[in-house]
Amino acid sequence: MKFAVILFPGTNCNQDMADAVSLYLKHEVSMVWHHETTLDGFDCVLLAGGFSYGDYLRSGAIARFSPIMAAVKNFAAAGKPVLGVCNGFQILTETGLLPGALTRNQSQHFQCETVEVVVENNRTAFSTAYTKKQLLQLPIAHADGNYYADEATLASLEANNQVVFRYKTQVNGSCNDIAGICNAQGNVVGLMPHPERNLWESRFPFASQNHWNADGCGVFDSVAQIMSSQPVPQRVFS
């Protein structure tokens, strides 16, 4: 099983993401430069956090024109698992692989803290290892995490169970306190919190204030489980 971590100029959480695969899951992982045009041979694509293209224009707006994104779109369309974390989530919405947009935090500040997140849908490619309504502690670090979609889109996300992670309390002004969503098939998931930063105690931020609990492992366990047992089901709603 082989994972790809896409590398754009300005991506800076790529090593944490790669370590989650190689050190934690013990699977093979490669960094894929954004100029590449193929994802042949990969089983899972990870879009890491950072500031691709300096967040010029809008967060994630320029990255979507990178040559690799056409391959990511095809990869997603084939039903294979794609995860976007933080800037990766922003890129997925800009690309149109996930609905809505991520706008400036309501606080107008860059928010760097550990927050409580509820698992709303545990039937996606990246959430089967959790139980429904499980409460997670996950670090966030973003300025543009305020999820926005129009009312019709929000209603359809809720009705189709596409809200995967929800902040327990209001964090950044996101509509319906949305922290992470999936596409209709459940194989593409994007979230603002960083699960890869809650795997090892030594890498867990704010360890003095928040008790480390390895809550991020489930995201990676889920995809590893699904990929080793069976192909990702086309519809995986509860």
- Which residues of this protein are in contact with other proteins, per CB under 8 A? 57-58, 61, 65, 93-94, 100-101, 103-106, 108, 146, 148-150, 173
Told to judge if 86 belongs to the known catalytic residues of this protein, a careful annotator would answer yes
Q: Is the distance from CB of 14 to CB of 50 less than 8 angstroms? A: yes
Q: Which of 44, 94, 196, 217 is catalytic?
A: 196
* Cα dihedral sign, 26-162-135-91: positive
Helix pair 87-95, 68-77: axis angle to 10 deg: 80
Number of neighbouring beta carbons within 10 Å of residue 185: 18
Nearer to other proteins, 95 or 121 (CB): 95
61 token code pair: 């707006």
Q: Report the Cα–Cα distance between both ends of the chain, in Å, rounded.
A: 26
Told to judge if 196 belongs to the known catalytic residues of this protein, a careful annotator would answer yes
Q: How many residues does the chain have?
A: 238
Nearer to other proteins, 41 or 96 (CB): 96
Number of neighbouring beta carbons within 10 Å of residue 54: 10
Q: At closest approach, how far in Å is the CB of 6 from other proteins?
A: 20
Q: Is the distance from CB of 121 to CB of 127 less than 8 angstroms? A: yes
Told to judge if 27 belongs to the known catalytic residues of this protein, a careful annotator would answer no
Q: At closest approach, how far in Å is the CB of 101 from other proteins?
A: 4
Q: At closest approach, how far in Å is the CB of 181 from other proteins?
A: 13
- In the block, residue with structure tokens 């519809």: 235
149 token code pair: 């979609």
Q: Which of 13, 44, 86, 217 is catalytic?
A: 86
Q: At closest approach, how far in Å is the CB of 69 from other proteins?
A: 14
Report the catalytic residues: 86, 194, 196
